[in-house]
Amino acid sequence: MLEKFLISIGLKQPDNVPDIYIESNTTVRPSGENKFVDDESFSDLRVHSPKDEVEIKALRSFSEIHGLGVAIKEEFIVAMDIRDIPDQSERRRILDFVTGMAFMSNATIRSINRDGVFLILSTNSSLSTEERERLQQLGLYRLNV
């Protein structure tokens, strides 16, 4: 378990790379409920190239957390969406793990949507007004959190 943690935060290289660590890039397809995951395509959602834009990570289970750890390690601004995880204990496990990753990376984590969306910011980054408006249009960011 410790070895998996060290690999996920980038402190150790894996001996072999299992298929679950191979990332696939998809595009954001918001549904009527403003969620980003459907039965056809679920994985990490890359919507940026520069570091001042938000990388959206929609997780369905704890096993998908590796891509989130890589984005935090590379100091991207990350919006973590765990709204599609019905099990509250798994949500808590993910949130505890991500809080530890953020702490080790000197990043901050804050809730931007009470339904289960969190923003992870590295110490040298901030969320621009344009990005906040874009996240609001996508249904991720709520003003009254």
Residue 100 within a domain: yes
Q: Is residue 84 part of a domain?
A: yes
What are the backbone angles phi and psi of residue 29, rounded to the nearest 5°? -130, 85
Q: Which residues of 124-134 are buried (b: 16+ CB within 10 A; e: fewer)?
A: ebebeeebbee
Q: Which residue has the tokens 């590295």?
A: 122
Q: Which domain holds residue 99?
A: 2-10+31-137
More confident residue, 14 or 32: 14
Type of residue at 83: R
- Would 39 be classed as within a structural domain? yes
Q: Which residue has the higher pLDDT, 24 or 12?
A: 12
- Distances, alpha carbon 133 to alpha carbons 11, 14, 101, 120, in Å: 35, 39, 27, 17
| 18 found inside a domain | no
In a domain, 26, yes or no: no
Residue 91 maps to a domain: yes
3-state SS track over the chain: CHHHHHHHCCCCCCCCCCHHHCCCCECCCCCCCCCCCCCCCCCEECCCCCCCCEEEEECCCHHHCHHHHHHHHCCCEEEEECCCCCCHHHHHHHHHHHHHHHHHCCEEEEEEECCCEEEEEECCCCCCHHHHHHHHHCCCCCCCC
Q: pLDDT, tens digit, for every residue of 74-108? A: 888 999 999 999 999 999 999 999 999 999 999 99
Instruction: Work out how many domains the chain is built from and give that number.
Output: 1
The alpha-carbon radius of gyration of the chain (Å, integer) is: 14
Q: What is the mean pLDDT of the chain?
A: 77
pLDDT at 1 over 50: yes
pLDDT greater at residue 4 or residue 104: 104
Considering the entire predicted model, what is its pTM? Answer: 0.63
pLDDT at residue 143, rounded to an integer: 65
Q: How, if at all, do strands 107-113 and 77-81 pair?
A: unpaired
Given a contact cutoff of 8 angstroms between Cβ atoms, the answer to whether 66 and 20 are in contact is yes
- pLDDT in the model for residue 3: 77
Q: Quote the pLDDT of residue 16.
A: 67
For residue 74, tell me if it sits in a domain.
Answer: yes
Q: What is the CATH number of the domain that holds 71?
A: 3.30.110.150
- Do the domain assignments include residue 42? yes
